[in-house]
Amino acid sequence: MDLPQGVIRPKSVHAEWVADAILPTRHGKFAVHVFSSFEDSEVGRCEHDHVALVLGDVRDREDVLVRVHSECITSEVFGSLKCDCKDQLEASMAAIARAGQGAVLYLRQEGRSIGLANKIRAYALQDQGYDTVDANRILGLPDDGREYGVARDMLDYLQIRSVRLLTNNPAKVTALRGLGVKVLGQIPVVIAPNSYSASYLEAKRKRMAHDLPPLLLAVGGDAE
């Protein structure tokens, strides 16, 4: 896709398009675009690279299938069964491939933006019986600290006029609409729980209002 190469300057952070190429995947060939965001903080300037995987020509298109996905190294790299993040990412790419058009915006916001070390600390508390919300609160961390300004700017750069979000999280829809993104609807990405993820997903349904069906807590066997 021949897109203009330029700099995006959102209000809160500075994000810049830096590279693109074609990426063959098990779901087809995607155009991969890398964006760098820069944010000044008390400890200095922080830089993060984010990725847009784009299938088809999305320029000036309405109702584009989009997944705004936050990084989860434990699931996506190490195959953790404690969450459904990797499976949601794969399911979203497959849905976009079936549609023949769409985008995955992969944001570097590990652990709902608390970072890897804090995420592992929260895991340790979950092993003691606390759910994902209470574990974060015991550590003095937000339930969900993610922000979506970079996603808005990536959509602007890709010239996507409106989206249909692949998500279980109504708060994500609200946040993007608050940033001016035209969200036409929401498509849940429901992954069957395993014996490790069932209580985590149930906490997200009950305490974070995710659009998930009531889960069977007594799950027999682990996910493969």
- Residue 215: its pLDDT value, please? 56
Taking only the tens place, the pLDDT of each residue in 117-137 is 999 999 999 999 998 899 999
For the chain, the average pLDDT equals: 86
pLDDT of residue 13 exceeding 70, the answer is no
- Residue 115: its pLDDT value, please? 86
Taking only the tens place, the pLDDT of each residue in 35-46 is 998 766 555 556
Q: What percent of the chain has pLDDT over 90?
A: 64
- Residue 29: its pLDDT value, please? 96
Mean pLDDT value across residues 51-66: 96
Q: How are beta strands 7-8 and 14-25 bridged, if at all?
A: antiparallel
Q: Given pLDDT bands bounded at 50, 70 and 90, which one contains residue 222? A: very low
| Collapsed DSSP state (helix, strand, coil) of residue 164 | strand
Q: Given pLDDT bands bounded at 50, 70 and 90, which one contains residue 1? A: very low
- Residue 145: its pLDDT value, please? 87
Q: What percent of the chain has pLDDT over 70?
A: 86
Mean pLDDT value across residues 30-35: 96
Q: How are beta strands 102-107 and 64-70 bridged, if at all?
A: parallel
Q: Given pLDDT bands bounded at 50, 70 and 90, which one contains residue 221? A: very low
| Collapsed DSSP state (helix, strand, coil) of residue 125 | helix
The whole-angstrom separation of Cα 140 and Cα 133 is 11
| Collapsed DSSP state (helix, strand, coil) of residue 99 | helix
Q: Which are the catalytic amino acids?
A: 144, 146
Mean pLDDT value across residues 135-155: 91
pTM above 0.75, yes or no: yes
On whether the CB atoms of residues 75 and 82 are closer than 8 A, the answer is yes
Mean pLDDT value across residues 138-164: 93
CATH 3.40.50.10990 fits 7-109+146-207, yes or no: yes
- Residue 45: its pLDDT value, please? 56
- Residue 208: its pLDDT value, please? 85
